[in-house]
Structure 1
């Protein structure tokens, strides 16, 4: 569900500033590693098929370039500073909602005593901050 707005965000970021777009693309690429694992592992264990797990992960990832393409087709003629502000605000809101309402509560279901969830959230934030510094996007 959230891969479509990720593609849209990458498109808009690159259109606004290629350096910023690179940073967004790297951040999303880093994020897609555990996401791919989270999609494929349960499917593999449920079906025993590496190909089904791979196929569903691939299908999940295809939503990003589709989001970018649709963003291009719909928005290329109306892009302005206000349009960028609206787009980034919408995508940011979607991503924050997914994190707060879906990802963190799901992690805490698997870790009810919060032995690792909070710390790994902080590690994830640190990885993203480091990637932004390394790519001088901050």
Structure 2
């Protein structure tokens, strides 16, 4: 589960960074560094509050799940702004971006479920949190469209923030845990296949 989630999230990071670079490489990179800094701060705070629980997952696992849901929610927020900015460039572009992001939401939700269910969450609760993590998309798409000139300069920063936070989670939490369950060769194969599958969805849509 961790290996598949890592591959899916790695492809999502790649897509976020490429999209951000189309607006501003410098602001995207600043966002990536900011995302890593924010997730480090959040992780340290969560370690001091080990009684946290989410979807019946408690302790250290609960903290990890909370981090993942938070990261994917931030990711969805950036994508929501992207949808709104896209519609600012015309109906056809906005429709294209909306369909592409809607398709991406399926493997992204799967990544959350693959992390939550093995740690004790029910499938129903994992599905619910996957949906909740995507709520910022419609909530931010409308104001981003209405105030496109205000939101557009910050879009690459938001995309970078989400990518940086996810990259930290992949390399500091998911891959080390996955390496304890399967061989390095198997881990590499699963991550690459998941990455390629997610990237295929991105390229096709």
Q: CA deviation at 1:33?
A: 2.1
CA distance in structure 2 between the partners assigned to 1:56 and 1:129 by the alignment: 24
Q: CA deviation at 1:15?
A: 1.7
Residues 34-84 of structure 1: CA distance to partner in whole angstroms, max 9, x if unpaired? Answer: 43243234426xxxxxxx54125413531320x33664588664312x211
Q: TM-score, normalised by structure 2?
A: 0.51
Question: What root-mean-square deviation, in Å, do the aligned CA atoms of Structure 1 and Structure 2 show?
Answer: 2.7
CA distance in structure 1 between the partners assigned to 2:141 and 2:101 by the alignment: 17
Query: Matched residue of 2:133: which SS?
Result: helix
Query: Matched residue of 1:110: which SS?
Result: coil
**How many equivalent pairs are there?**
125
> Does 1:85 find its partner at 2:162?
no
Residue of structure 2 in register with 1:8 after alignment = 77
CA distance in structure 2 between the partners assigned to 1:60 and 1:31 by the alignment: 8
List runs of 5+ in structure 2 lacking aligned partners.
Answer: 1-69, 87-93
Q: CA deviation at 1:115?
A: 3.7
Q: CA deviation at 1:12?
A: 1.8
Q: TM-score, normalised by structure 1?
A: 0.71
> Does 1:119 find its partner at 2:196?
no
By relative contact order (CA 8 Å, sep 6+), the higher-ranking structure is: 2
* Conserved? CA contact 2:178–2:187, under 8 Å: yes
Please list, as runs of the form range in 1=range in 2, the aligned pairs for 1:63-78 lying within 5 A after superposition: 63-65=133-135, 67-68=136-137, 71=140, 77=147, 78=150
